[in-house]
Chain A
Amino acid sequence: MSVSAPTRLEAISPIEATLTARRSRWARIRRFCGREMLGTFGLGIVIVMAIAGLSAEWIAPYNPTANDFAAMTEPPSWAHWLGTDQFGRDLLSRIIYGARTALIVGLSSAFVGGALGLVLGVGSAYFGGLIDMILQRFFDIMMAFPLIIMALAVVAIFGTGVHNVIIAITIPLVPRCARVVRSSALAIREVPYVDAARACGYSHARIILRHMVPNVVAPFLIMITAFVGQAILAEASLSYLGLGVQEPVPAWGLMLQGGAEEYASTAPWIAIFPGLAIMLAVLGINLFGDALRDELDPKLRNR
């Protein structure tokens, strides 16, 4: 309950109500920023990343996949702010376009994984019994199964490319989300009004959507933000092992593979900048996610 919400009992005009609500929303956001400086900082990084990804065509100085054999492994200079890689491609442009790849991979994996996890977790909790038992075992297997085999299988069968990396990364996220969602949903299931609703003849879908899902939204959202960060890191690891996105697509993880290590001593900027980009992006996302959790967690609210 927001402190500045109107407490007067008399009716208030619609205009006044809207203005108060808007004011209180702004006030809430301002308070959030003040309290959670780190979270705001994180959000700022995420916004910068999003802008870079969305407007890459306009702000990137060079074509990220154009080889320029006259300018191979050049150190940072006025022509190339972050230097060039071994093909002569501008690193700044590749990092800007890489933000787009990272966001696509991160957001897609997180949302698809989260959505599937939500459905499976809630369904598992709601229906219980045999379905729950089977799904639980399924989750166990998926969580224990090493990511690299899954990724290799996906790559070998479907080929490389952004879509297939997303598939490979999404798979381990589903059971993790489902587990958390399930335990939150289980708490609701025991509440009497669910049985009452069934007795009234409400359909499964309505009960699930109306009652169970809203209760799990908070931990779910927090988990999604964590997933985005994990997905970006997973893409980096997979690309490093050669199982992720492929040349010449600009992706931060891919930029750290191959050439980066080979030139680590002679052209360290090839290895340093993409790694920094990954670190900052995941840092920002995690800081924001932490702040979000702190904000939404009722126990910690009355500080």
Chain B
Amino acid sequence: MVFKWFLAVGVAASLAVTNAWPGLAAETPKRGGELTYMIPADGGPSLDGHKEATYAVLHATAPFYSVLVRVNPDNPASTTDFVCDLCTEMPTPTDNGLTYTFKIRTGVKFHDGTPLTAHDVAASWRKIVSPPKGVSSARENNFVMVDRIEDPDDTTVIFRLKFATLSFMPALADPYSYIYSKAILDKDMHWYEKNVMGSGPFKFESYDIGQSVKGVRNPDYYHQGQPYLDGFTAIFAPKQSVRVDAIRSDRAALEFRGLPPSARDQLVKELGDKITVQESDWNCGNVLTPNNSRKPFDDVRVRKALFLAIDQWRGAAALQKIANVRTVGGIVFPGSPFAATKEELQQIPGFWPDIEKSRAEARRLLKEAGQENLSFEMLNRNVDQPYIIVGTWLVDEFSKIGVKVTQKIVPTGPWLEAMRAGDFSVALEANCQNIVNPIADTGRYLPHDRYSENFAYHNDPVQVALYDKMLRETDPAKARVLMREYERQTLDIGAHQMMVTWWYRIVPMRSYVKGWKISPSHYLNQDLANIWLDK
């Protein structure tokens, strides 16, 4: 019942946010061909999806593995359409939402020939949810609701939860949750860091360090007919201009993360119908975070003034021409049923449609707080798209209320370190999630002692109480009302942090690549099983 409501709204929302060019209508897939694509990063650290958090690892290894459940690869823009990969059907939770029982497919084999059973699934999930000492699981936090995992026989896996929550199923669909072989894990929990052996649509062929990963078709793949490709080559190409040139000269067909608007415009202009572009809102956004525990940003008036200075609506409209940003939104991903509508958003200071009124109010607040000559240094990450561009825009916006801002742009390591140490005045950070899970995703706005990666360093018991209530609410309509209150507390009444532009994903690809559909997350839909080449 709950999921049907979700499904309806989710499908409607996903149709609204995805702009796919015509040509994706159903055609008969052709078998054969090699896909060459690029991974916009240097080679990732290890090959273990459970351990790592960078998309470089995911793009390189997802084709080799199966997962338990996943976002529907034919409808990846949906935030609520989850389907089975290794299970036989999506379960309905029992025991008031505390128990999820999965039936596992039979006849699935690992690439080395050994059969895959529920015991492998359970062992892999135990590694993810509660790894033994010395083994790390990068997303352990997402599964605090899981009490234990049982595998009573070869085809059944049972998840027992500590409390019922709407955020469990999206968490379970985490694309990094590869299913490993229990036999191998029992011998060596670290084996998968350096080796690949899964049950996915492609078999591992080779890995040239820092260069490329190659795979070939798995003839025994359990989804009949797939994969269509004979094989693939993934090349690590951290430099953007190289990636654009490669697509232009057909050295590679595409990259799966996203290119800026200038690249899209250039490719479309030059290649015309040889290029297809898919676009989508991205489950990533920049967050402006003043250090709430440092003067003068401990004064809510000063924070509010900063937020009011920003012309979100016109800024987003201009920035989308040069950066990967587009949609103005609140704390929830704009395509989700939990997100605020434009009318609801415009009630919040910082999103008022009249910018002159906002800026006048900002100046008034600064004067009241005695901070008319405010100047500060904004911490930013040295990545061009879109951090530096958004930062440069913000500096200009702040100057319009007389606040002088300089940017302190540092590499990723020092950027993270400064925020973790609280060693900054105002920081521009980002928030990206693997999968759209609004209730879990918005937990990051909770105070530091509750969510250790929140760098606003604020205290707000009202906010915490609202969130806890929402976390345990099982009626989506009521949860949405609570979400609006939580959002208001975060952005308006407490004014702890402010969203500045949600990102926008643009994936241009050569038109012969078919079958792949874009989603709000560059972590989703990467196993390449449904891709075919029209050559």
Contacts and interface: CB of A to CB of B under 8 A. Distances in A.
Q: Which of B244, B263, B321, B409 has the most CB of A within 10 A?
A: B409
A247 B407 contact: yes
A203 B494 CA distance: 69
B392 A265 contact: no
A156 B270 CA distance: 41
B241 A86 contact: no
A87 B397 CA distance: 13
Contacts of A242: 382, 409, 411
Interface in A141-168: 152, 155-156, 159-161
Interface residues of A, number: 27
Interface in B405-420: 406-411, 413-414
A297 interface: no
A159 B262 contact: no
A262 B262 contact: yes
A274 to B, nearest CB: 16
Given A156-B413, A264-B241, A86 B322 contact: yes
A72 B322 contact: yes
A258 B410 contact: no
A44 interface: no
B318 A69 contact: yes
Interface string B388-416: 11011101100000000011111101100
Given A155-B410, A261-B240, A264-B241, A247 B388 contact: yes
Interface string A250-273: 000000011101111110000000
B260 interface: yes
B347 interface: no
Interface string A16-45: 000000000000000000000000000000
Interface residues of B, number: 31
Interface string A84-123: 0011000000000000000000000000000000000000
B262 A247 contact: no
Contacts of B270: 265
B410 A156 contact: yes
A258 B265 CA distance: 17
A263 B411 contact: no
Given A247-B392, A266-B262, A160 B411 contact: no
B54 interface: no
A266 B392 contact: no
Contacts of A152: 411
Nearest to A70: B318
28 contacts: A67-B396, A72-B321, A72-B322, A73-B322, A86-B262, A86-B389, A87-B322, A87-B393, A152-B411, A160-B407, A242-B382, A242-B409, A242-B411, A246-B407, A246-B408, A247-B391, A247-B392, A247-B409, A248-B396, A248-B407, A257-B384, A261-B240, A261-B241, A262-B240, A262-B262, A262-B263, A265-B266, A265-B270
What 4 A-B pairs come out closest when comparing CB atoms? Answer: A69-B318, A258-B384, A261-B241, A242-B382
B426 to A, nearest CB: 14
Interface of B: 240-241, 244, 260, 262-263, 265-266, 269-270, 318, 321-322, 377, 382, 384, 388-389, 391-393, 395-396, 406-411, 413-414
Contact of B409 (A66, A160, A259): A160
Nearest to A160: B409
Contacts of A155: 410-411
B239 to A, nearest CB: 8
A262 B244 CA distance: 9
A271 to B, nearest CB: 10
B393 A67 contact: yes
Interface string A56-84: 00000000011101001100000000000
A248 B395 CA distance: 9
A160 B408 contact: yes
Nearest to A266: B266
Contacts of A73: 262, 322
Contacts of A66: 396
Nearest to A65: B396
Contacts of A258: 384, 388
Nearest to A265: B266
A266 B265 contact: yes
B218 to A, nearest CB: 38
Contacts of B382: 242
Interface string A194-219: 00000000000000000000000000
A84 B227 CA distance: 48
A262 to B, nearest CB: 5
A67 B392 contact: yes
A160 B381 CA distance: 12
Nearest to B259: A262
Contacts of B408: 159-160, 246
B424 to A, nearest CB: 11
A259 to B, nearest CB: 8
Q: Which of B262, B266, B269, B395 has the most CB of A within 10 A?
A: B262
Contacts of A261: 240-241
Nearest to A88: B318
A246 B411 contact: no
Q: Which of B240, B244, B318 has the most CB of A within 10 A?
A: B318
Given A87-B393, A248-B407, 13 more contacts: A67-B392, A69-B321, A87-B389, A160-B409, A242-B411, A246-B407, A246-B408, A247-B407, A248-B396, A261-B241, A262-B384, A263-B262, A266-B266
B248 to A, nearest CB: 8
A159 B414 CA distance: 10
Given A72-B321, A265-B266, A87 B392 contact: yes
B425 to A, nearest CB: 12
A196 to B, nearest CB: 56
Contacts of A69: 318, 321
A261 B393 CA distance: 20
Contact of A262 (B260, B269, B393): B260
